[in-house]
Amino acid sequence: MSGRALLLLGLCLAYVPCARAVDNTPPLPDPVQQQRYLGLTHELRCMQCQNESLADSPVGLAADLRRDVRELIVAGQSDEQIRDHMVARYGEFILFRPRMNLRNLWLWAAPFVLMAVGVVIAVRVVRGRAAQVGPDDEHADPLPPES
């Protein structure tokens, strides 16, 4: 890149707006409830953005869901009850960390099964190649005669 191109890129990056907080609601009066609120909004997925948590999403739907979480905490519901409420309303997809059950057991087991298959294949390939080569003694240099 030329110097002008780097200068232009630097100027463009200088004008990128700074990151700002998405959730502008006042904190809950109880610090324990506020921590629960922050934890839940970071582990629930925005249904519109899909790759962002509720806490990080700037869209209106996420703001509505954050408000719902806040209201459920103030109403005295537990974290599990709030998760169950959101799953009943939006499905398992709203959870960034899906629950382990029979429907998604394959999702949890797949990495271990694939790793075991890979190890078995690697061992068979190495043993097969070792059997094809044979011992290395055939190509060794003869020892010099002892004097």
Taking residues 21-44, what's their average pLDDT? 85
What pLDDT is stored for residue 17 in this prediction? 45
- Sign for the CA dihedral angle at 57, 66, 37, 23 comes to positive
Work out how many domains the chain is built from and give that number: 2
What pLDDT is stored for residue 106 in this prediction? 84
Domain interval for residue 120: 102-130
d(CA 81, CA 65): 15
β-bridge mates for residue 8, sequence order? none
68-72: long-range pairs with CB below 8 Å, 24+: 69/37, 69/40, 69/41, 69/44, 70/25, 70/28, 70/37
- The predicted-structure confidence for 96-135, as pLDDT tens digits, reads as follows 887 777 877 888 889 999 999 999 999 999 999 888 876 6
Regarding whether 73 and 110 lie in a shared domain, the answer is no
Taking residues 40-53, what's their average pLDDT? 88
Asked if the structure places residue 143 within a domain, the reply is no
Residues making up the chain, counted from first to last: 147
d(CA 73, CA 80): 11
Regarding whether 90 and 43 lie in a shared domain, the answer is yes
Which structure tokens are listed for 27? 């904190």
Q: Which of 7-21, 70-84, 123-137 has the highest mean pLDDT?
A: 70-84
Regarding whether 84 and 31 lie in a shared domain, the answer is yes
β-bridge mates for residue 95, sequence order? 44
d(CA 142, CA 70): 82
Asked if the structure places residue 147 within a domain, the reply is no
Regarding whether 43 and 26 lie in a shared domain, the answer is yes
Q: Which of 139, 33, 137 is nearest to 82 (CA)?
A: 33
What pLDDT is stored for residue 20 in this prediction? 44
Asked if the structure places residue 54 within a domain, the reply is yes
